[in-house]
Structure 1
């Protein structure tokens, strides 16, 4: 937090006229920055600046600013210095967004309380749902224009973004800065703080997994492999089969990424042995290995392991794994020479499994995708096709066909 605080203040100081700041980093890094922002809201935070955080969904560029105002007005009621009423602002939308509305309200607040004009006001927006990213980008641009027009140099809009896949890449007048953390060092310090007793096997294992994850994110496969091999030894020594499976699975994926397929196969087999039978871990590792075999174009072997995953999943009552592996078996059974009969049997079995699911779980499953495949094979105008279409309309609504996007392949 101290390092982030120092970096943040330096960036603001060096870019005092910018209305927009975008923190870039890996997912865990921008989360740390957001945690820093939240800390500034605490009573014991050592800051004279004003920090505001807004998580409201972005659904309409004409009312998003109004949603900020509503939240701030509520918070204003408990502000000790708030002797006047929350400032009302006459504002007319002229640009297609209402971004100028909260800017005008904060400008009026600074007029009512002059000491605020001497402080920075940082407004971080982090909508959990964005219905239209182009509209949000326009809203952000209008905010910047409103701030400049009003001459409120101390008012800053703050966003976070992934440093590679930048959502706000085209945002004008933005200062972009990177938050970088050494996750290995941070987790090591945390482990030492929370587990002061030396030689705690569980803490040592978790530390090796964290080190491996961090090194993998940097592309340092050799260092990741070394950490994972150590994690495997710890898990075996402590007789923790699930921990061993996790470490071996990561090790197999790491080796595969380096093109070392033979050792990767060995690690998968050792993980399957460690997992045992008739448990969730066993079903998951069979599914994972089937996906790996599929990536290596070993379709016949992949079918064997997907079938085993289905058997285990059905025995333990995990309908999600059973359905997904059955769907994959259907896809692997399609071909010019084999025809559709075998694939259709697998797809129909998928729907049988889905029908037994709880409604919420069914909505999250690949049932619409599988039904879309079957509808094409039956023919939309066939009796079977009409019955299936009617069932899907009942379960998912009239526009169920829009949900038939291909599920992501498990890696």
Structure 2
């Protein structure tokens, strides 16, 4: 791949076409070389001058413009990534059946790079058997079709079929490029937990931790971009929903445990990146705990929370599933960070343990992470400091190798 990844942005004729302009802006501003290929119907929603101004290139839906450059072949041949956003039901049908009646559908036939479709349509159209068959066909051929979001559609309608947020489609596309277009998790169901749980003392106060959910969300994005069906169990996370990922929201460790155990029953892999509270109060006050007039502080009795990683590792619904844990360690008088982590790996029973040295508050809330990935087979992989998305790719490499094919 060259210094500037070459991205083709295909735009088909749906009302969400106006949101694709934001996607184009993100690609262009982050240094990608973008060629926009709209359909004729897309130009009814957003005109060619907008696409040309944002991409810095001429735009046409026709195979008959600049025929001396053979655009219907060259654009697809030279691309590092093709993203069709929005992808209408009509466009998905044409792509699945190999029709080529304009520049975009010709480009899809000649592209040998990863192809991503971001569908947007009414719920009934998305759920129609014809559309579902077309999506299945495209996925079987190696294309990545993002699950649409749920929410407000055109007019008063709501439901599944909403165009995912452009910022999240952009992150998904970057993950595809970072993963080299691999679809080694296609057909796999994976569960990722993220964030930090809260254990309430009263209606307004809780015990919590500093986990932001950034690493878990990076893992969910990376898995989806490698073709997996992803369930993300998010504990008190305020980040935007990753494109194409099912979100289950929880607050407490008990809720996290129930959601993870339920999702893990049908999963090929579970990555426990969340930070569940180890303890919870034995009782929760129905009313806000008041300050004592004599200045004394209340005593709080704690009890231990269930060990979710230990439970899903020792009681697996699928014997060949891969379980990954995280260990945030600081080291103490009983041992170094690595010594404590190896003991934890043996105790928990998981297949891989991602070890973070969090001395001084490192890692929490930061876009950067470094870790050592320990395997129960005795392996140890040192991942140097870098983006959390880069660590996510290494983790999924290890998971995919253990899942086999």
- TM-score, normalised to structure 1, is 0.31
Q: Which has the higher helix share?
A: 1
Q: Which has the higher strand share?
A: 2
Q: Point out the structure with max Rg over C-alpha.
A: 1
- TM-score, normalised to structure 2, is 0.31
